[in-house]
Structure 1
Amino acid sequence: MTKKIVSKLNRRQFLRHLGVGASASLLVSQSMVNALANDDLLVTDNLTALTKDELPSAVSGSESPSQQLNQTSQCIKPTIETRLFASSNVGSHDARNQLALQRVACAGLQVQNPEVARRQYLRFAGTDAQRASDLQNIATGAISAPKLLLGVRGGYGASRLLPMVDWATLGRVMQERGTILTGFSDVTAIQCALLAKGNMSSLAGPMLYSEFGKAMPDRISCRQFVAALTDPNLTIDVDNADLTSPKLPPILADNDSRSITGTIWGGNLSVVSALTGSEYLPRIDGGIVFLEDVGEQTYRIERMLYELYLAGVFKNQQAIVFGAFSGTGEDSYDKRYDVATVVRQLHKLTGLPIYSGMRFGHIAQKASFPLGASCTINPNTAGSYQLSFADYPTIHASALHVEGLWA
């Protein structure tokens, strides 16, 4: 039942009250942003339920929200050819879309199709045909391949598009242009299909609505996003397994000093497991599987991992890397049955080394990284490890202005 509102407004009602519409790009004022940032002014109802790509996140740094929002910086001229693709949920708040578009422009991204962020059909960001056309028109040559394909948001709906895109041709066109496709969560389906059938890498990273439209984008996530876009030799250090489970060591392996090199692939566990048995799940010999998820109970995590195991997905893989498993809660039958128990069982089943605590998933302060690229995992003497990436497209650092992403 929808909660009654006394004298406060939820996000959707707040925007309607202000009459925000198609011309909102010039009307996103400081007061609106502050209001959206202040959860004390908002009442959550069944219309504003959070999806997996829109969970609350901690504000980085010690500054207050008003201090962070007031510290804007000078924008640069946008020169990086960018197109949006909206494969999943609609970005339901237009003011948030417009704020995100202003920020990415300030950071140097020249978005050529901003109208995509406002499409809607049912819960989706347009009809299946419209959403598929964001990618298929590039494959056919109807639209030139941009340098960056930026996902709008996740949620649900990308799997409906998979048979509608010529992934082999799209992958070839993207390779020729050096196009970078970025997203996570439900966009995992797009990334897996692109790698499986188009042999093309992508970037696991934040999205337009989900991150850059926040009242206070996470600065560490923004910096890591730009680092992954611009650094051809990206490295990520993992010191502990806490994001996966504080009860795990960073490395669970018979030989925890061995270096491993292979193609890293995967993404959101729920989406990867849903692709089991399809032609859109990558089949990579000697690969490194990356998995993360949010809001799934422990038994559901294990069930999805068993689905992959029983389907033979972990065969011929060299290792499994786990990112964040947040919001799992306690098992109602026995609280000892937790993520650590599940991971240890998977290690026993597969015999594969398992690396936990990778800083990526539905969390704040995430580290973006390329999927479908070469990855080397090097353990260190302290029991932690480093991931090094190679062979993926990048953008020249001078064309990006990271502060614009939170201006």
Structure 2
Amino acid sequence: MNKDATELSRRQFLYRLGQLGAGAGASLLATQSLAVNIANQNDNHNHSDQLTKDDLPTTITANNPPVAPNSSCILPTIETRLFASSNVGSNDTRNQLALERLACAGFKIDNPKIVDRQYLRFAGTDIQRASDLQNIATGAIATPKLLMGVRGGYGAMRILPLIDWQTLGRLMTERGTILTGFSDVTAIQCALLAQGQMSSLAAPMLYSEFGKTMPNEVSCRQFVEALTNPNLSIEITSADLTSKRLPAILAKDENQSLTGTIWGGNLSVVSALAGSPYLPRIDGGIVFLEDVGEQTYRIERMLYDLYLAGVFKNQQAIVFGSITGQGEDSYDARYDVAKVVRQLHELTGLPIYNGMSFGHIAQKHSFPLGARCQISPNALGGYQLSFADYPIVEASAMNVAGLWQGS
């Protein structure tokens, strides 16, 4: 298909969606003024300096300058459904802007009204939130190509027993469905892998990234790269995102390479699943962990939870992503994340790879969980992660610039 046939001005795009009717047009709920409205709004989630399990401050840095409004969109064709397993996305304007951007980028969202649900702090009752996935398992809703998490926070653990993960995993495998998210969505991803033997994608979410006044362009591009590249690789040159006092590779043999299934996610969630049937048991696996806003002793306590539960047995390695916002220990400042990671290395005897560029940070590299991963040292003093055996989306169906487009 040529460029003239696929690219439309935003005005043409909105008109064409209207002509397609309510079903197709429902994936675009925002108007051209939304980006202006949100830019003028004092969104506490965007401008707070406090790191949380879900959101980060939206800052404009030299590495992420303001971008010009995107003047073209493509008709959305990627069959997408949202699932809201955790916190409510309380800012309606932010939700609508995210929906607009995703539609412009090529995602045909079948259930956009899901963002309007709320029960207490959650994005709906337990039954409502579980139904986002369980209705697919029962066949009440056709299996989409993409299942995108709306937001993290807390709440996903409450719905784990309400979903037939084995059937859901089978249907997703048959369709080649990609489930995306991180943070509290780790509970969903672990259950899907443990009981459904299906991979997922550690990636930004609707409210948490695409609804920001200024989404991070690198995060958006890397999200699309992970969605479309069947041979994704990520280079890590420094341990700084985990701790500046650690080497990138902490191992007896820094030149070794290893291959296994990578799994895990947010440390708080993974440790909370220890002893449950929703935590994967993978022989020869590679455990990935990240977290934000936890004191150093709490990080170590959660790692000990996993160690004492035998989770690190029969694993080949541990990969740490970003560990941010932990602060300084008031008893002794020398007790920091570097000490904790070195202690874990002594306990387990496993090689530990630090500084993976994913977690509660503004600029992250999406990657598959539950897929085959090879870790090997690189020429820069760090390491490379190479991934295989996971579903993808055709790159021609996506307009990456739509993910950060303005008005």
* Cα separation, 1, equivalents of 2:217 and 2:139: 36
DSSP-derived class of the 1:197 partner:
helix
Q: Distance in 1 between matches of 2:141 and 2:36?
A: 38
Distance in 1 (alpha carbons) for counterparts of 2:120 and 2:217? 33
Q: Give distance in 2, aligned partners of 1:62 and 1:257.
A: 32
Cα offset, 1:355, TM superposition: 0.0
* 1:130-209 equivalences in 2 (<5 Å): 130-209=128-207
1:118 to partner: Cα distance: 1.1
- Aligned counterparts of 1:130 and 1:268: Cα–Cα separation in 2: 24
- Say yes or no: does 1:323 pair with 2:328: no
2:56 corresponds in structure 1 to 55
Q: Is the 8 A contact 1:28 1:99 kept in 2?
A: no
Matched position secondary structure for 1:26: coil
Aligned partner letter, 1:396: E
**Structure 1, unpaired ranges of 5+:** 1-22
CA–CA distance in 2 between the matches of 1:312 and 1:59? 43
Matches of 1:369 and 1:134, distance apart in 2: 23
Distance across 1 between alignment mates of 2:300 and 2:64: 39
Change (3 A) 1:142 1:159: same
- Which of 49-58 and 166-175 deviates more? 49-58
Number of corresponding residues:
377
Output aligned runs, 1:323-342, within 5 Å. 323-342=321-340
How far did 1:399 drift?
Answer: 0.3
In structure 2, the residue matched to 1:241 is 239
Letter in 2 for 1:236: I
Q: Could you tell me how far apart the structure 2 residues matched to 1:381 and 1:402 are?
A: 31
Out of 19, 29, 39, which is 1:34 matched to? 39
CA deviation after TM superposition for structure 1 residue 52, in Å: 1.4
1:383 Cα deviation from its structure 2 partner = 2.3
User: Partners in 2 of 1:152 and 1:105 — Cα distance?
Assistant: 15
Counterpart of 2:384 in structure 1 is 386
Which residue among 309, 312, 320 is the counterpart of 1:311? 309
Match of 1:276 in 2: 274
The 1:38–1:293 alpha-carbon spacing in structure 2 relative to 1, beyond 3 Å, is: closer
Residue of structure 1 equivalent to 2:11: none
- In structure 2, relative to structure 1, the CA distance for the partners of 1:334 and 1:368 (3 Å cut) is same
**Conserved in 2, the CA contact under 8 Å of 1:73 and 1:403?**
no
Query: What's the offset of the Cα at 1:364?
Result: 1.2
Q: How has the CA–CA distance of structure 1 residues 127 and 71 changed in structure 2, closer, same or farther, with 3 Å as cutoff? A: same
Which letter maps to 1:26? T
CA distance in 2, matches of 1:244, 1:28: 40
Q: Give the whole-Å Cα distance in 2 for the aligned partners of 1:62 and 1:164.
A: 43
**2:64/2:217 contact within 8 Å kept:** no
CA 200–60 in structure 1, closer or farther in 2 if over 3 Å, else same? farther
Match of 1:255 in 2: 253
Q: Aligned AA for 2:160? A: L
Deviation string 1:181-217 (CA, Å, 9 cap, x unpaired) is 0000000000000000000000000000000000000
Q: Letter of the 1:31 partner, please give it.
A: V
How far the C-alpha of 1:307 sits from its partner, in A, is: 0.4
TM-score (norm 2): 0.89
| Structure 2, gaps ≥5 residues long | 1-27
For residue 59 of structure 1, what is the amino acid of its counterpart?
A: I
Distance in 2 (alpha carbons) for counterparts of 1:296 and 1:402: 34
Q: Amino acid of the residue matched to residue 37 of structure 2?
A: M
- Per-residue CA deviation, residues 235-257 of structure 1 (Å, 9 max, x unaligned), is 00000000000000000000110
Quote the Cα distance in structure 1 between the aligned partners of 2:42 and 2:64: 14
**Separation in 1, partners of 2:238, 2:196:** 35
Distance 1:348 1:150 in 2: 38
Give the conservation status (yes or no) of the 8 Å contact 2:34–2:93: no
Instruction: Trace 1:98-109 onto structure 2 (pairs within 5 A).
Output: 98-109=96-107
Distance verdict in 2 for CA 1:220–1:77, change over 3 Å: same
1:222: Cα distance to partner? 0.2
Task: Tell me what 1:18 maps to.
Answer: none
For the residues of structure 1 that align with 2:379 and 2:72, how far apart are their CA atoms? 43
Cα distance between partner residues in 2 of 1:63 and 1:290: 27
- Taking the aligned partners of 2:34 and 2:276, their CA distance within structure 1 comes to 47
- What is the aligned counterpart of 1:289 among 287, 290, 303? 287
RMSD (Å), alpha carbons: 1.9
1:115 and 1:137 map into 2 onto residues whose CA distance is 16
TM-score by length of 1: 0.89
**Which amino acid in structure 2 is aligned with residue 33 of structure 1?**
I
**Residue by residue, what CA displacement relative to the aligned partner does 1:136-184 show, whole Å, maximum 9, x if unpaired?**
0000100000000000000000000000000000000000000000000
- Judging changes above 3 Å, is the alpha-carbon distance between structure 1 residues 162 and 35 closer, same or farther for their aligned structure 2 residues? same
Aligned to 1:372, which of 363, 370, 373? 370
Cα distance in structure 1, aligned partners of 2:214 and 2:282 = 38
How far apart are 1:35 and its partner, in Å? Answer: 1.3
8 Å contact 1:28–1:95 — kept in the other structure?
no
Identity across matched positions, percent:
71
8 Å CA contact retained: 1:206, 1:368: yes
1:269–1:304: 8 Å Cα contact kept in structure 2? yes
2-structure distance, mates of 1:62, 1:389: 27
**Code of the aligned partner of 1:339:** V
**Matched residue of 2:332: which SS?**
coil
Describe the SS at the equivalent of 1:358. Answer: coil
Question: Cα distance, 1:28 vs. partner?
Answer: 4.1
Q: Which residue of 2 aligns with 1:16?
A: none
In structure 1, what is the Cα distance between the partners aligned to 2:164 and 2:124? Answer: 19
> How big is the shift at 1:33?
2.4
Q: 1:62 to 1:245 in 2, by over 3 A?
A: closer
- Aligned to 1:25, which of 27, 30, 52? 30
